[in-house]
Chains A and B, each alone.
Chain A
Amino acid sequence: MSTEENKVVYTPKDFKSDQEVRWCPGCGDHAILSSVQRTMAQLGIRREKYAVISGIGCSSRFPYYMATYGFHGIHGRAAAISTGVKTANPDLSVWTITGDGDALAIGGNHLIHAVRRNVDINLLLFNNRIYGLTKGQYSPTSVKGQVTKTSPYGTVEPPFNPGELVIGAKGKFFARTIDGDIKLSVEVFTEAAKHEGTSVVEILQNCVIYNNGAYADITNREHKEDRQIVLRDGEPMIFGKNRDKGLVLDGMQLKVVKIGENGITEKDILVHDSKVNNPGLHMMLVNMKWPSHPVALGVIRNVAAPTYDTAVHVQIEKIKEQSPIKNMTDLLHSGNTWVVK
C-alpha cells in the first residue's frame, strides 16, 4: 500500500471467517490455514484485495475458512480459475489452494500452463500423497508401492516430484515447507507473495486419516535436523543437529559431506542462490531425498521474470494508444462501408 492512509494493521483473526473448520482433528491443513492467516495479516495488503481460489479436495475447502474473497471451484481447475481472476484484475492478490490430485492429476495441464505463462499467483500445493476427500486412493505423488484403497497390492507407477515438474515447466519460483512448521511456512508464504509470477509452494501435509506419517521419517523431532535442510539465500547449505553436515558438488552430483572430515571446511560447502536463472542446481536440490540426502525446504528457486497478467495489460494499453479505434462506433464504421440513401 503506497499511502499512509491505506496502511492497515491486521491480526490473523481478521482473516478467519465465521465458518466452522471441518477438517479432521490433527489434519495438517489446520496449521497451514493458520500460517496463511498469519502471513496475510502482516503483508500490508488490504483484506478486500485477497482472492483465495481452490479446486476440489479436502484442502480446497480452504477458501470457506478465510474472511477474504473466495471461490471454491471444480476439481483440477484452481489454477485456471485463478488465471482468469488475476488476468481480469491484476490488482488482486490471488492465492490458489490445491491438492496433489487437484494440481497434478486432473489439473496437471492447467498447472503447467499457469507456471509457463508465469501468472502472478501464489499456488499452495497441499501434498499429502493421497486423495483425502474421496477417502484414500493413491495420487500422482504417492510413493511407488504405496498401499491405498485403489492400490491394495501397492502402486506400480512412479510418482511426480512437484518441484521437478514446476521447474520443468519453466517455473520461476518453487518453495517447500512442512504443515506443522508455522515459522518456516510464514517465511516461505511471504516470499511467495513478494515474488511476481507463479509462486508454487509445496507443503508436505499430513493426512492423519488416510496417509498418516507420510513424512514422519523426515519430520519426527528426533531426526528432523539431520534429514531436512532449510535453504536460505547467501547461506551455506549446512544442516544436521550439530550443524556439521553440508552439501557439495561432486562432479554432477550433490553430495553430503561432514565438515571437519577429509579436510572439508565450511568454505567448501555450497552457498544457496535461489536467484540464478540456470535451473540445474535447483533441480538437484528439489530432487534430494532422504536417506541419501536431506529434503530441501525453504525457497529453492526465486527468479524474476515478466508476468503474464502484466504483459496482457501492457499490450492492451499500447494498442489502445496506437489504434484510431476508440469505441464500438469507431469499429463499426472502420474499413469498407457504404451508404444506402
Chain B
Amino acid sequence: MTKKRELIELDDVVIRFSGDSGDGMQLTGTLFSNTAALLGNDIATFPDYPAEIRAPQGTVGGVSGFQVHIGHSDIRTPGDLADVLVAMNPAALKANARWLKPGATIIYDRDNFTPKNIQKAGYKEDPIAEDRLQDFNIIPAPITSLTKEALKDMNLDMKTVLRSKNMFALGMIYWLFNRPLKYTEEFFQQKFKRKPEVVEANEKVLKAGYYYAETIEALHSTYVVKPAEIEKGVYRNINGNTATAWGLIAAAERAGLQLFVGSYPITPATGILEELALRKDLGVITVQAEDEIAGITTSIGASFAGLMAATTTSGPGLALKSEALGLAVITELPLVVVNVQRGGPSTGLPTKTEQSDLMQVLWGRNGESPVAVVAASTPANCFYYAFEAGRLALEHMTPVVLMTDGFLANGSEPFKIPDMEKMPEIKPPIVPEGTEDYMPYKRDPETLVRGWAIPGTPGLEHRIGGLEKDKNTGNVSYDPANHEEMTHIRAEKVAKIVEDIPEQKIEGEQEGDLLLVGWGSTYGHLVSAMEELAAEGKKVGLAHFNYINPLPANTDEVLGKFKKILVCELNLGQFANYLRMNYPKYEYHKLNKIQGLPFTVAEIKDEAKKLLEE
C-alpha cells in the first residue's frame, strides 16, 4: 500500500507532542509510547502538563506536553532535546522551541497558526523566523481542516471532530517511524466499546494522518528504531504510580496480609490510589478518606488491626499527616507512607517535579521521631522500592516513607515482569496465640523490633497509644530515664535497619576524580551524564542512593574514594546537607535545580567538567 521512501535506522529518537491542555497530548504520547514498547523499544517518557485542567487556550502557560524517548539501546531519560516536535498551536511551538535539537523536525497545525493565535502565544507574526527555526525541517500540516474533512460524512458535532485531531498528528508520527496502527486501534475498540462512532472517528483520523504523511513531499524519509537489546524476559510498560501501587500489593502478598490504603487525592500521587482502588480482586481495601489526616489515621487503625497498611500523598498532604506519623513512630506500628513529591512550598507547582521534601520527611515531626526512608529512582523500580518499604515496615515494625516524585509518577518505561516466587518472603513479627507473659513493648534484643499482637487474638489484649510507654510493660510512663531510653531505642531500632539493606554501589569508575551523587528520580540523567563523561575519558563514578535513612553502611567509604563530590538534586541542597551532617569530613559541591523540571544530561556534564577542570 505504501511507497516507502528512504529508510533510515536510528539508535534513538526523542519525540515531543505538544498542544493546549485540551488537545489530548497526554493520550497521544501514551499511545505512541505503548506502541513503541510493544515493538520492543526501550522507552522513557516525560509528561509535562499545567495544573489547570483546561488552562487558558492558546497561551504558553496552557501548553501540555508529552515527551517520549525510544531507542534501540538502553534508554535512561526522556531526553534533553527533541528530534521531532508536534505543535498543535503557536503556543506549543513557543514553549518548546528551545528544547529542540538543531535541525529537528517540527510538524505543526497550520490551521491554528492564525495571526490571533500567533500573537496570543507571544510572537509578532512569523514564529519560525522569530525563533530562528528556518533551518529546521518544518512541516506545516493542515491538521484541523483535514480532520474535519476526514469526518465530514459522519454527522458528528464539531466538538467531537476537533477532539480527534490529535489522532491525525499521531497518524503522521506513526508513518514517520514505521509503526503499525494496530495497537492504537485496539485501544479505541476496548475503550469505547459502547460508542462505535467514536472508535470509527478516531480510526478514520488516525489513518488520514498516516496517509497524509505518506503523500506529502516534505517528509523525505522514514525511520526505524530497532527493538532494544535488553535483558530477556516478559515486559510491560509501566509508570511510577502504577509500579508503586503494585509494589505495595506485592509486598502484602509476600507477607500473607491484606493491604489497606487510606488516602486523600492529591496530584501527583492520586494515580496510586486510583490503581489500588481497582484492585479489589486482590483484596485491596481502599478508603478515600475525608482528608489526609484521616488517610493516615485510618491506616494506623488498620495496622493496629493487623493489616499491611499504607497511605499515599504529596508534600502538602504529608504536612497534614505529620502528627499522625509520629503516632505510628511511638506505637511502633508498620506503615508505608508514599510521598510523591511536587514543587513547593504550599500548593507550589502541583504538576511539576521536585525533590524538596527530603528534610520534611526526615525531620518534619515533633519530638525525636525517626522513620526509615527509601527513594525510588526510575518509574519501574518504584515497584521494588514500594515492596522494600513494605518489607522494612512489616519486619521492623516502623513507619517507612517511600519517596518518589512527579517525574517518576507519570513517567513510564518498560518493566521486566518479576517472578513473584523469587521476591523475598516478608515475615512480620506477629505474636502467636498462647504466648505467655506477652508485653507490647518487649523486643527482639538484636533488632529491637517489638512483637505485633493482633486484636482478636485471645490472651494478647493490650493497650498502646501516643503517650510514652514503659520500656517493658508498655504502660504509660512519665519516668525521665525511661523516656530517654525509649527515645534512644526508637532511634536505634531504625538505625539497625542498616544491617538489612544492601551496601551502596558505585557505578562507573570505582575511584577517581569525581563522584556524582544523587538520590531518587535523577538517576537516569545522572547515569547518562556519568557514562558520557566516562566515554570522554573522565574518571567519574556515580553513587545514586535509594536508601536514605538509614544510609547504607559503606557510605563513608564510597564518599572517600573520589577527589571531589558533586551532589546533584532538584532542591537547594538538602541531601548534600544531610550527607554533610553525617560525614562532615568531605567537601560537598552542589548542583541544584528548582524549576519544576528534571535535570538535563548536559547540565550535569557541564557542572562536572567545570569541577574536573578546577
Indicate if the CB atoms of B417 and A337 lie closer than 8 Å. Answer: yes
CA distance A178 to B1 in the complex (A): 87
CA distance A320 to B300 in the complex (A): 25
Indicate if the CB atoms of B455 and A63 lie closer than 8 Å. Answer: no
**Interface flag for B307 (CB, 8 Å):** yes
The 0/1 profile, CB within 8 Å of B marked 1, for residues 275-316 of chain A is 000000000000000000000000000000000000010011
Indicate if the CB atoms of A84 and B301 lie closer than 8 Å. Answer: yes
Given the complex, which residues of B lie within 8 Å of A74, measured CB to CB?
297, 323-324, 327, 466
Query: How far is the CB of B69 from the nearest CB of chain A, in Å?
Result: 18
**Interface flag for A5 (CB, 8 Å):** no
**Interface flag for B246 (CB, 8 Å):** yes
**Interface flag for B253 (CB, 8 Å):** yes
> B280 touches which one: A19, A316, A326, A341 (CB < 8 A)?
A316
Indicate if the CB atoms of B236 and A73 lie closer than 8 Å. Answer: no
Within 8 A of B (CB), among A236-260: none
Query: How far is the CB of B594 from the nearest CB of chain A, in Å?
Result: 33
User: Which interface residue of A56, A70, A80, A86 has the most chain B CB atoms within 10 A?
Assistant: A80
> B456 touches which one: A48, A53, A316, A329 (CB < 8 A)?
A48
Which of B123-131, B281-289, B573-581 is the interface stretch? B281-289
Within 8 A of A (CB), among B315-334: 323-324, 327, 331
**Interface flag for B299 (CB, 8 Å):** yes
- In the complex with contacts A71-B464, A332-B418, A336-B183, A77-B237 CB distance below 8 A: no
Given the complex, which residues of A lie within 8 Å of B38, measured CB to CB?
336, 338
> B294 touches which one: A17, A64, A109, A332 (CB < 8 A)?
A109
Q: Which residue of B lies closest to A79 (CB)?
A: B294
**Interface flag for B180 (CB, 8 Å):** no
**Interface flag for A24 (CB, 8 Å):** no
CA distance A207 to B26 in the complex (A): 60
CA distance A327 to B263 in the complex (A): 23
The 0/1 profile, CB within 8 Å of B marked 1, for residues 317-341 of chain A is 0011011011111011101111111
CA distance A70 to B305 in the complex (A): 10
**Interface flag for A89 (CB, 8 Å):** yes
Within 8 A of B (CB), among A62-96: 63-64, 66-74, 76-77, 80-89, 91-92
The 0/1 profile, CB within 8 Å of A marked 1, for residues 264-287 of chain B is 000000000000000111111101
The 0/1 profile, CB within 8 Å of A marked 1, for residues 415-446 of chain B is 00110100000000000000000000000000
Query: How far is the CB of B235 from the nearest CB of chain A, in Å?
Result: 5
- In the complex with contacts A17-B463, A48-B457, A328-B249, A77-B307 CB distance below 8 A: no
> B298 touches which one: A67, A69, A84 (CB < 8 A)?
A84
How many contacts between A and B, using CB within 8 angstroms? 208
The 0/1 profile, CB within 8 Å of B marked 1, for residues 82-115 of chain A is 1111111101100000000000000001100100
**Interface flag for A230 (CB, 8 Å):** no
> A84 touches which one: B249, B283, B302, B476 (CB < 8 A)?
B302
Indicate if the CB atoms of A109 and B291 lie closer than 8 Å. Answer: yes
**Interface flag for A195 (CB, 8 Å):** no
**Interface flag for B475 (CB, 8 Å):** yes
Indicate if the CB atoms of A316 and B250 lie closer than 8 Å. Answer: no
Given the complex, which residues of A lie within 8 Å of B246, measured CB to CB?
328, 331-332
**Interface flag for A51 (CB, 8 Å):** yes
Given the complex, which residues of B lie within 8 Å of A68, measured CB to CB?
461
Given the complex, which residues of B lie within 8 Å of A86, measured CB to CB?
301
Query: How far is the CB of A67 from the nearest CB of chain B, in Å?
Result: 6
Indicate if the CB atoms of B301 and A80 lie closer than 8 Å. Answer: yes
CA distance A320 to B417 in the complex (A): 23
Q: Which residue of A lies closest to B286 (CB)?
A: A312
**Interface flag for A224 (CB, 8 Å):** no
Indicate if the CB atoms of A338 and B234 lie closer than 8 Å. Answer: yes
Indicate if the CB atoms of A315 and B280 lie closer than 8 Å. Answer: yes
Query: How far is the CB of B253 from the nearest CB of chain A, in Å?
Result: 5
The 0/1 profile, CB within 8 Å of A marked 1, for residues 203-218 of chain B is 0000000000000000
Indicate if the CB atoms of B290 and A84 lie closer than 8 Å. Answer: no
**Interface flag for B350 (CB, 8 Å):** no
Indicate if the CB atoms of A77 and B34 lie closer than 8 Å. Answer: no
Q: Which residue of B lies closest to A47 (CB)?
A: B461
**Interface flag for A46 (CB, 8 Å):** yes
Indicate if the CB atoms of A340 and B307 lie closer than 8 Å. Answer: no
**Interface flag for B411 (CB, 8 Å):** no
**Interface flag for B262 (CB, 8 Å):** yes
CA distance A172 to B331 in the complex (A): 33
Given the complex, which residues of A lie within 8 Å of B250, measured CB to CB?
328
Indicate if the CB atoms of A340 and B231 lie closer than 8 Å. Answer: yes
Given the complex, which residues of A lie within 8 Å of B284, measured CB to CB?
316
Given the complex, which residues of A lie within 8 Å of B262, measured CB to CB?
84
Given the complex, which residues of B lie within 8 Å of A223, measured CB to CB?
none
Query: How far is the CB of B432 from the nearest CB of chain A, in Å?
Result: 14
Q: Can you offer 20 A-B residue contacts whose CB atoms are under 8 A?
A: A17-B463, A48-B455, A49-B455, A51-B304, A51-B455, A56-B466, A64-B465, A71-B304, A74-B297, A74-B327, A80-B298, A81-B301, A84-B260, A84-B300, A92-B455, A92-B456, A109-B290, A109-B294, A327-B282, A331-B282
Closest A-B pairs by Cβ, 7 of them: A84-B301, A72-B465, A323-B281, A84-B298, A70-B463, A88-B302, A319-B280
Which A positions have Cβ atoms within 8 angstroms of B? 17, 19, 46-49, 51, 53-54, 56, 63-64, 66-74, 76-77, 80-89, 91-92, 109-110, 113, 312, 315-316, 319-320, 322-323, 325-329, 331-333, 335-341
Which B positions have Cβ atoms within 8 angstroms of A? 34, 37-40, 183, 227-228, 230-237, 246, 249-250, 253, 258, 260, 262, 279-285, 287, 289-291, 293-294, 297-307, 309, 323-324, 327, 331, 417-418, 420, 455-467, 475-476
7 extra interface residue pairs, beta carbon distance < 8 Å, beyond A64-B476, A81-B297:
A17-B463, A48-B457, A74-B323, A84-B304, A113-B290, A328-B282, A336-B236
